[in-house]
Chains A and B, each alone.
Chain A
Amino acid sequence: MKLQTSNFKVQRYQSLPFLYIVSCILFTASNAHAMHISEGILPFKWAGLWFIVASPFVAFGLYRLKKLSAADLSIKPLVGLMAAVVFIISCMPIPVPTAGTCSHPCGTGISGILLGPSISVLVAAAALLIQALFLSHGGLSTWGANIVSMGIVGSFTGYIIFRVLRSLKVNMAVAGFIAGLLADWATYLATSAELASGIRGDSPFLPLFYKILIAFIPTQLPLGILEGAMTAGMVVLLYKKRPDLLVKMGVIRQEEARS
């Protein structure tokens, strides 16, 4: 996508405010399911590429699931139920006051923290497939791309940030908030990169990538904060009510649960 004029530089700066206004209006005029790349939007080769990128992560998740479920029969139902939670969370329209619209969190940060990133990839994959088949959120052809952005990037970011902050003795709520926030924003960065690479045609990648980033700002900036608050709320609620579950999932140590 190129800005085509004879004096390219002037036109580029002229069009930026307009682009922002248009994007704000268009991308936020309805419930934004911004985290999901729509069915058919990626050309065949790009859709295939993201499937190839996602495959080893899904395969490793399945390997981990097999290993864990051999020792504990409740793992598969738990992973299935977490996928249902992620499905519901990412279907729930939440008001975004700054944008005057509704959007939804993605929930993979929290599932990454609770179940570990490799299992969380499976959670995201299952939720995304049901959404694609029965709601037209995301799509079958863009399933691989959505697994990469929501499942892999979101889960790993949430998990790593939370672990690092907890190892630095950061408070549970703060660690949960930052992990959720960054997991959401990392997902949106990955989605923007996937979209830009897929629809750019012969145009350069970076200008389009920046435009998509700008277009997502009205919903995704406040939504990241919402996701952070949600993740913090979930972690704190679990810590207060059922610390044994957090110990079981390896989120906290036994001594932390007692204190």
Chain B
Amino acid sequence: MQSPAPAGGNAPKSAGGRVISGSLWLPPEGAPLHFITEYSKNDHALTRVDARVKLLVFLGILIMVLSYRGFAFPLLVTLLCLFLDIRLRIPLRAIVLRYSEPLFIAAVVLLLKFIFSGKDTLVSVQFMGLNLIGHKDGLVEGLLIGGRIIGAVSVVSVLGFTTPFNELMAGLSWFRVPRGFVEIMMFAYRSIFVLFEDAMVIYTAQKNRLGYSSVKRGLNSFGVLAGSLTLKAFENSQNTTVAMVQRGYDGTMPMLDHRPFKYSEVAVSFLFIIAAGLLWKM
């Protein structure tokens, strides 16, 4: 089994052996895919909670956000999640990267709904010879969708920031997600870092040789890059299988063993869900 390049490998370790980000607002140096660096290694009460409990709580909150008919609850969830992100010492750059795309989409949906949807005129503006009408009900609808997007992204971000991948997969396995799928996810995640480095080496070599100097050359270069990655994937899968069979692989990968549930974690999570449910109902 090829070991992945350690995410955040250069980050200093605390006395307890947990990796701490180099600086509060900077991602650890040397991480090949810093945007999926495992911030879950940062020491915090939430990162220590059982992945199964977190999965249940976060999925519960996600369902509440999606089914809420208003923007107060998603807004509250977003603020809480942003607070948690800061408490988790997530670098600002990582937070911005996570939120930029959903925020952009939410803004576009809001604008399109405001101008092109609804009946009650709120504002009318002349622009480039066109009479643009902003609608009150369109604005409300856009805010609902925008709030839902940001609220849902916040919830999933905190789950991703606080849960190591292998614990998440073990949790999914415990919830009877088909083992074959969980194993594919594990193979994929471990290979991403290796293949990403290979892709960067090929891309840099192509770029240095003017491989992207014109559209035609760029298309050709990208085809070769993608083809080389596929070839590597095939070769690595063969090598990986041989190495794993030598270590006793029989077609199923071992999963992390879960420690027993902590009653305190379950109780606090239960109370949190009840409180969130009451707020959702209001």
Contact = CB atoms under 8 A, between A and B. Distances in A.
Interface of A: 1-5, 11, 14-15, 18-19, 22, 26-27, 29-31, 33, 38-44, 47, 58, 62, 65-66, 69-70, 73-74, 76-85, 87-89, 92, 94-95, 97, 107, 110, 114, 122-123, 125-127, 129-130, 132-137, 139-141, 199, 201, 203, 211, 225-226, 229-238, 241-242, 245
B75 interface: no
Given A81-B187, A95-B218, A110-B230, A1 B99 contact: no
Nearest to A43: B66
Given A40-B153, A73-B245, A133-B160, A199 B195 contact: no
A81 B231 CA distance: 10
A81 B220 CA distance: 23
Do most interface residues of chain A lie in helix, strand or loop, or is the interface mixed? helix
Contacts of B222: 94, 226, 229-230, 233
Contact of A234 (B74, B97, B227, B251): B227
A30 B107 CA distance: 13
A76 B153 contact: no
Contacts, number: 261
Interface of B: 35-36, 59, 62-63, 65-67, 74, 97-102, 104-109, 111-113, 115-119, 127-128, 130-133, 135, 138, 141, 145, 148-153, 156-157, 159-160, 165, 168, 178, 180-181, 183-192, 195-196, 199, 212, 215, 218-220, 222-224, 226-231, 233-234, 236-238, 240-241, 244-245, 249-251
7 contacts: A40-B149, A70-B251, A80-B190, A94-B222, A130-B189, A136-B99, A245-B234
Nearest to A76: B183
Contacts of B229: 85, 88-89
A78 B237 contact: yes
A231 B220 CA distance: 10
Given A40-B152, A235-B227, 8 more contacts: A69-B180, A80-B185, A82-B230, A110-B226, A126-B184, A141-B66, A229-B223, A237-B224
